[in-house]
Amino acid sequence: MTYIAATDRYEQIPYHRVGHSGLKLPAISLGLWNNFGGTDAVENQRAMLHRAFDLGITHFDLANNYGPPPGSAEENFGNILKKDFQPYRDELIISTKAGYKMWDGPYGDWGSKKYLISSLDQSLKRLQLDYVDIFYHHRPDPDTPLEETMAALDLVVRQGKALYVGISNYSAGDTEKAIEILQRQGTPFIIHQAAYSMLNRWIEDGLTDVLEKGGAGCIAFVPLAQGLLTNKYLKGIPEDSRAAKEHIPFLNNKDITNEVIEKVKKLDALANERGQSLAQMALAWVLQEKTVVSALIGASRVSQIEENVKALDNTSFTKDELSLIKNILGEN
């Protein structure tokens, strides 16, 4: 059956300008880090992408290594895009990244111009696209001069392979240097993709100021702290949860301490008072940070996307609520 997007999709969600650029992103974006790889059901992927776009989510975020296996998320998305979303390509913001290992040898990792240009060419083939809207350097490279990495980002814009460029996982100091280099080269830096949540507030220690000064925005990934800021772990660690899988390095049993769970329970109680789920409140809280233009969610089923978008029904906080959240997080 031919996919036809909902006619009211742009009435569902606000769009925020990215820094000083002309680009706007939906307040909620969908990341394809997990559940869109070669081992996942393609029909579920299609259903999630359809529903996301029907709800006004126009931004789909990928990376060269998303899978598993690496590259398969781009391949799957490219096939779905060609089959279902081709009429809507100009309504979509599609991003990808390079910076982690993709192939053996000295040219398949980190941040050299050789790697970044080659990787983007491969990504475009998998995505079946002539260009992406945003191309990121995925992580800083301690051995490659920052000037070379930024020159690669400048080059892909001049080649027409990316409309905008950004970085991810950079410190405040390195971000400031990257902004200055790109400004000299004539390709503005517009966006930083950074981990940010109630339980991980590192960007407030300098990065947000750098982004505001540089006229750039931030898109927050893992805003739900890999699921900790949901009701999933309030009564322990479910056997089918991400934290129960020891091979996943980002959230394990060691991360879910009694202290963390007590904080989460108190946050959950406040969310209930606000008439929201904990996940919805956590997303709303991330979006009240001045430079955050979008919260990047992941999903394994359609209902999660629907619940997360409902966070936008209540994104304001009273002074008392913000003060209580600070107390819960141990900041006062």
Looking at 16-25, 139-148, 252-261, 266-275, which range is the least confident one?
252-261
Let me know if 313 is exposed, middle or buried by CB neighbors in 10 A (0-12, 13-18, 19+): exposed
Q: Give the number of other CB atoms < 10 A from CB of residue 244.
A: 14
How high is the pLDDT of residue 234?
84
- Tens-digit pLDDT profile for residues 112-143: 999 999 999 999 999 999 999 999 999 999 99
Return the closest-CA partner of residue 158 out of 202, 179, 188, 178: 188
Q: Residue 265: is its pLDDT beyond 50?
A: yes
Q: pLDDT tens digits, residue range 210-248?
A: 999 999 999 999 999 999 999 888 876 655 555 544 544
Mean of per-residue pLDDT scores for the chain: 94
Q: What is the mean pLDDT of residues 15-36?
A: 98
